[in-house]
């Protein structure tokens, strides 16, 4: 795959452009934001300056032309991504690439094969639980199609930009939070195409001033399509946690999620079973609405760890709707303790093991 990428770079490099009166090329001028190759498809995004869009449209056509007829590539797509600055007239040599995430020790994907299984609810409570264990934590809402972290934490402030031009994450409950939901209005229908999603995620990873983090929890978009696969491949994940409800149908999707991460060599930290059981608030009787221990069984079958179950509880839904996660409202509740126990397992299985006594230490 990297050979195809190299070939793409070589071909694009052959496009000569004129910058401030000197001859240069598209690659050296860092006009290409991203090149992603997955499943014999390539996605190329070009940094475009809105005020000079015609020029960039011509450049896009030139790039498409040089990318024709590459063996082992079924299709490609070139998109223009908008940036405030003007790459054609500025020296971009100090543009940070992965620098912003050098300071993050562990990036953990929280994923599910499908939506509505409690992925976002689990992500935010897991982030808070890891924070409670003494670590520096951030959460990145990568669910570009349905960002729900702003609602779950009751925030809709627009993030500020630092003097260095980095986006400052929203800080709440002592964790750093970034979501596309902070940047676009809830009613704006967004039609995201694959490369744009990757570009937006890259921006939220690299152009956000995350500071030093022990853990960045990434609430992934639901599903296992090309976008999710590319994201799993592009974002330097240290591991993935899969959320599933216990019923067979959800487990089929969870399995697809597991396979997707395995395919791109991201280690599976384990499976969490959400809505595992319902305890009646009146008579305390336990009901297995979605079946019993399905995720635990599937974890065994897939030879991955079962991290624990979270019951279906009215208080979880109520606190989520109220914009204050249960771990923050009721840290002593039994479900909060379940999140803490899961968080401890996640920490134990990651690189930051044993760091909680000295959370500000940077592990190199
Ligand atoms: N364990 C739970 N108990 C009660 N309600 C839950 C639980 N987990 C999630 N929910 C509720 O289910 C809905 C979907 O959860 P959400 O986290 O948004 O799912 P996803 O991110 O997978 O789409 C939300 O209304 C949420 O409050
Ligand atoms: Mg969600």
**Ligand 1, pocket-test mutation among 115, 121, 139, 321, most atoms within 8 A of CB:** 121
**Ligand 1, pocket-test mutation among 150, 288, 310, 317, most atoms within 8 A of CB:** 317
Nearest atom, ligand 1, residue 219 CA: 21
Q: What is the mean pLDDT of the chain?
A: 83
The protein residue with its alpha carbon nearest to ligand 1, atom 5, reads: 317
pLDDT band at 296 (very low <50, low <70, confident <90, very high): confident
Q: Which residue has the higher pLDDT, 272 or 91?
A: 272
Is residue 363 over pLDDT 80? no
Nearest atom, ligand 1, residue 123 CA: 17
Per residue in 81-98, pLDDT (tens digit) is: 765 443 333 333 333 333
Q: Cα separation of 77 and 135, whole Å?
A: 40
pLDDT of residue 33: 80
Q: Which residue has the higher pLDDT, 292 or 149?
A: 149
pLDDT of residue 110: 96
**Spatial strand order in the sheet of 41-49:** 32-38, 41-49, 75-83
**Range 37-46 average pLDDT:** 80
- The finding on whether 79 has its CB within 6 A of some atom of ligand 1 is no
Q: Supply the pTM of this predicted model.
A: 0.72
CA of 117 to the centre of ligand 1 (A): 6
- The finding on whether 12 has its CB within 6 A of some atom of ligand 1 is no
pLDDT band at 351 (very low <50, low <70, confident <90, very high): low
Task: Tell me how far apart the terminal alpha carbons of the chain are, to the nearest angstrom.
Answer: 29
CA of 126 to the centre of ligand 2 (A): 14
The protein residue with its alpha carbon nearest to ligand 1, atom 24, reads: 317
What the chain holds in terms of domains, given with CATH numbers, is 2-89 (3.30.300.130), 104-353 (3.40.50.300)
Nearest-ligand number for the alpha carbon of 122? 1
pLDDT band at 78 (very low <50, low <70, confident <90, very high): confident
3-state secondary structure of 75: strand
- The finding on whether 148 has its CB within 6 A of some atom of ligand 1 is yes
Angle between helical axes of 53-66 and 2-13 (0-180°, round to 10): 120
**Range 146-151 average pLDDT:** 92
Lowest-confidence region among 132-146, 158-172, 245-259, 312-326: 245-259
The protein residue with its alpha carbon nearest to ligand 1, atom 11, reads: 317
Angle between helical axes of 334-348 and 119-132 (0-180°, round to 10): 80
- The finding on whether 115 has its CB within 6 A of some atom of ligand 1 is yes
Per residue in 109-123, pLDDT (tens digit) is: 999 988 889 999 999
3-state secondary structure of 100: helix
- The finding on whether 117 has its CB within 6 A of some atom of ligand 1 is yes
pLDDT of residue 269: 96
């Amino acid at each position: 795959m990297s050979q195809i990428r190299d070939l793409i770079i070589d071909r694009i490099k052959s496009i000569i452009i004129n910058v401030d009166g000197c001859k240069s090329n598209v690659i050296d001028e860092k006009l290409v934001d991203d090149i992603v190759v997955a499943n014999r498809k390539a996605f190329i995004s070009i940094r475009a300056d809105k005020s000079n869009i015609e020029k960039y449209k011509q450049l896009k056509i030139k790039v498409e032309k040089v990318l024709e007829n590459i063996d082992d590539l079924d299709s490609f797509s070139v998109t223009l991504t908008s940036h405030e600055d003007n790459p054609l007239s500025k020296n971009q040599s100090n543009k940070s690439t992965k620098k912003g995430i050098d300071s993050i020790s562990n990036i953990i994907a929280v994923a599910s094969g499908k939506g509505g299984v409690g992925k976002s609810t689990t992500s935010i409570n897991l982030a808070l639980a890891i924070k409670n264990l003494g670590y520096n934590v951030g959460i990145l809402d990568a669910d570009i199609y349905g960002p729900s972290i702003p609602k779950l934490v009751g925030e809709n402030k627009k993030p500020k930009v630092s003097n260095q031009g980095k986006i400052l994450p929203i800080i709440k409950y002592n964790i750093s939070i970034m979501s596309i939901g902070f940047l676009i209005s809830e009613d704006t229908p967004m039609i995201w195409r694959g490369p744009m999603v990757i570009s937006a995620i890259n921006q939220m990873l690299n152009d956000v001033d995350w500071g030093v983090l022990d853990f960045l929890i990434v609430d992934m978009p639901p599903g296992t399509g090309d976008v999710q696969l590319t994201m799993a491949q592009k974002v330097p994940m240290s591991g993935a946690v899969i959320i599933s409800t216990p019923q067979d149908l959800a487990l089929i999707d969870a399995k697809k999620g597991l396979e997707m991460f395995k395919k791109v060599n991201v280690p599976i930290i384990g499976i969490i079973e959400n809505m595992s059981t319902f305890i009646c608030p009146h008579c305390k009787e336990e009901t297995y609405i979605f079946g019993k221990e399905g995720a635990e069984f599937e974890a065994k079958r897939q030879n991955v760890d079962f991290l624990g179950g979270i019951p279906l509880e009215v208080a979880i839904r109520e606190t989520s709707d109220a914009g204050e996660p249960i771990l923050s409202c009721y840290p002593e509740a039994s479900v909060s303790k379940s999140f803490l126990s899961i968080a401890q397992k996640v920490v134990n299985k990651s690189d930051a093991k044993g760091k909680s006594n000295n959370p500000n230490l940077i592990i190199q």
